[in-house]
Chain A
Amino acid sequence: QVQLRESGPGLLKPSATLSLTCSVSGGSIRSSYWSWIRQPPGKKLEWIAFIYQSGDTTYNPSLRSRVTISIDTSKNQFSLKMNSVTSADTALYYCARIGETAAGTPGYFDSWGKGSLVTVSS
C-alpha cells in the first residue's frame, strides 16, 4: 500500500514562494501520476497540478502561471512550488496518487497524504 507524506513550511509571508514536497513510500514513483490538491478552510477541494513519472505535467489553468510541479525519481519524491502567494493560498495541501487507466491516461485520486497546512500571513 503506497503511502504519501507532505512536508512544507507551515507559515509564510505574502509574496513569498511556497515549496512543498511529497515523499512516497511503499511503492515506486516510477509509475502512475502524482498530484497536488488543496482545500482552503471550510471550502471544497481544488486540484492544482499533476505529473507523470516521465516528467510530463498538467496544470490547473487558474494556477498555471504561479505553479511548478516536479519529480525526483531518485528520491521517490515530487514537489510543488507556488510563487507570489497571498492569503487566498491559505489551505491544507494534499499530495495524492492518480491511478493510471488501462489506456495509460490519468484516472482518479486513489491514495492521499494526510495534508500539510499552509498559512499565508504577514
Chain B
Amino acid sequence: EIVLTQSPATLSLSPGDRATLSCRASQSVRGYLAWYQQKPGQAPRLLIYDASKRAAGVPARFSGSGSGTDFTLTITSLAPEDFAVYYCQQRSVWPTFGQGTKLE
C-alpha cells in the first residue's frame, strides 16, 4: 500500500493569505496524484488531478505541483469558501488517500 502523509494536519490562516499544503508518498506515484476539497456535511470535490491539472470549474487560485513522492497544493489569496479539509489521493497503484489537512 502506498501511504500518503499530509502536512500540516491543521493550517490556520486568514482570507487573502496564501496556503501551501504538502503531500508526501511512501514511494513514487509518478504524477498520478489528485487533491480534493471536503466541506462539512459534503462529499469531496475533485480540485486537481495528475498533480497539476485543474478540474472543470476550479478557480485559478488553486494550483498543484510535484512529481514522484512530493506534492504541493497552493491556494493563492484564500477566499472565505476555501476553508475546508483537503485530501490528496494517488492512483499509481490501487487508490489511497492522505489523512487530510484542515484549513481553518
Question: A interface vs B, CB < 8 Å?
Answer: 44-47, 58, 60-62, 94, 96, 106-110, 112-115
Contacts and interface: CB of A to CB of B under 8 A. Distances in A.
B83 interface: no
Describe B's contact surface by its main secondary structure.
loop
B49 A107 contact: yes
B65 to A, nearest CB: 17
B30 interface: no
Interface of B: 1, 34, 36, 42-46, 49, 55, 87, 89, 91, 94-100
A45 B45 CA distance: 13
Given A109-B89, A110-B55, A47 B94 contact: yes
Given A61-B94, A109-B46, 9 more contacts: A44-B98, A44-B100, A45-B87, A58-B94, A94-B43, A96-B43, A108-B34, A108-B89, A110-B55
B97 A47 contact: yes
